Amino acid sequence: MRKKYIAVMVSILTSLNMILYSKVYAVEQKVVIMDTLSQQSNVTRITGTDCYDIGIKVSQKGWTTSDNVILAGSADFPDALSGTALGIKLNAPILFTDPNGIASNTLNEIVRLKAKKVYILGGTGAVSQAVEDSIKGQGLSVERLWGQDRFGTALAVGKKVQGLTGAKTAFIANAYNYPDALSSSTFAGQTGSPILLTDAGTLNEQSKQALRDWGITNVYVLGGTGVVSANIENELKDMGISLTRLGGLDRYETSQKIVKNFDSSLDKFTIVTGKDFHNALVASVYAEKIDHPLVLEDNDCSQTVKGLVKDKDLLIVGDFIVDSTTPTEPIVDEPGHSGNHIRQQILTGNLGFVDYDSNGSGLILNPYGANGDDKFTELGFTVGSGNRDMSLSIFRSSPEVDQKIKTILNMILPTQGDKLYSILDTAGLKTQTVELDGRIITIRVESYGLIVDFGPVK
């Protein structure tokens, strides 16, 4: 960060003029596993330029035609999570859309499939009325499955699934994180079981009532007690429901415990990153279709976790990268969200940023370009190393700048960008440290502006 930036009032920075939504620029997800896998002949890879394109590529790989399509908003995961079971029961591909408007290539894919009906997951905040109208304009039937919140939407989707199958088994996952629900998705679909959401400490009342209404007698609790507490186990037992907890020390161990519980063969898998939800969601239905259950893998998994997929029949959704300089080791790069990846997304994302330093690590937003006077610089972004993966510096505030701040935060934090934005928008903001989406984030309130340092993804 350059030292000559003009000082601005912190009070201005902490009243960021909240907006309802800003576009989430999907980033390319990079699944990184051992180099030995790159030599396997039984590896199929599906990738694309972003989450929309990857969803289309998966759809094209798996379906010549489909009467039904599941459409989810790309901005956040909760509405889409429960849609995996519905997609599997309907044999329907899952596609993403920008909440504010559906891209022509996504609409073209729906037309190519000769779809008759599109199920939209979530309310108009997740997928706008404009998107629905565009689909109806193609002569297609639309059914929107939604509730007043993430629990209500999961309930609406689960009700549809349970109505199709009459299942007496349900899966319950934490409503505020995605890995465990994703890992269970192929098995929830196989058994026709709804996926319901809960808070960590107590069973959500809407989900509890659904269990009663549907006559559920068996529940799979996903994750350890840190994400779904022992208290929830007791609540389920008091309802006369038998339960099985599937949880490990982290998302990767939980993923493998889920797979091992339902699939004894362990000879074929779908590999996706555990640090973003987009690839896993669009892969889930196709993974079940070809009987390749989802497994979460990333660069920092344990060797034991990585060992499960060695020499197996693999479908990899997202990029597969190895380090050619040290071929026995995975490349040291966080999938999709490292400082270098985010820098590239910012630079190419039509946000108006330019390079300002010779080593290429820093970007600035200045209306007069790289040579503009420092006092006009509005935002700065730098790539770091070690415990500081990247930093966002905020020096000025306006509605236009605030929208760009929110966009960048959603690039860096795939599920909790909006939450960090709301923290930054708090009156009287003080220097503090928080943990969101597996990153340690330090917010520094300085005399010259607001600095947000992001640690690497754990």
What is the structure's pLDDT at 350? 78
Q: Are 199 and 207 in contact (CB under 8 A)?
A: no
For 144-160, give one letter per residue: b (16+ CB within 10 A) or e: bbbbebbbbbbbbbbbb
Across 296-324, average pLDDT:
74
Distant-in-sequence, close-in-space partners of 438: CB < 8 Å, separation ≥ 6: 275, 457, 458
- Provide, rounded to the nearest whole percent, the portion of the chain with pLDDT above 90: 50
Query: How many CA atoms does the CB half-sphere of 57 hold within 13 Å?
Result: 16
Rounded Cα distance, 84 and 93, in Å: 9
Residue corresponding to tokens 């330090």? 442
Q: Are strands 68-73 and 117-121 parallel, antiparallel or unpaired?
A: parallel
Greater model confidence, 155 or 179: 155
Max Cα distance, the chain (Å): 69
What is the structure's pLDDT at 16? 41
Rounded Cα distance, 409 and 123, in Å: 23
Rounded Cα distance, 363 and 344, in Å: 10
Rounded Cα distance, 342 and 340, in Å: 5
How many of the other CB atoms lie within 10 Å of CB of 98? 20
Structure tokens at 390: 């990247």
Chain segment 54-63, per-residue pLDDT in tens: 999 999 999 9
- Choose among 49, 47, 40, 102: nearest CA to 74: 102
What is the structure's pLDDT at 384? 84
Cα 9 to chain centroid, rounded: 35
**Is the model's pLDDT at 138 over the cut of 60?**
yes
**Is the model's pLDDT at 303 over the cut of 90?**
no
What is the structure's pLDDT at 48? 80
Structure tokens at 433: 């440290």
Between 173-182, 237-246, 444-453, the lowest mean confidence (pLDDT) is in 173-182
Distant-in-sequence, close-in-space partners of 346: CB < 8 Å, separation ≥ 6: 353, 363, 381, 408, 411
Average pLDDT, the chain: 83
What is the structure's pLDDT at 14? 36
Domain ranges for the chain:
10-24+337-454, 48-146
Chain segment 77-132, per-residue pLDDT in tens: 777 788 899 999 999 999 999 888 999 999 999 999 999 999 999 999 889 999 99
Across 172-196, average pLDDT:
90
> pLDDT confidence of 276, banded at 50, 70, 90?
confident
- Provide, rounded to the nearest whole percent, the portion of the chain with pLDDT above 70: 85
Chain segment 341-366, per-residue pLDDT in tens: 788 778 877 788 988 765 556 899 98
Which CATH number applies to 48-146: 2.60.40, 3.40.50, 3.30.310, 3.90.70?
3.40.50
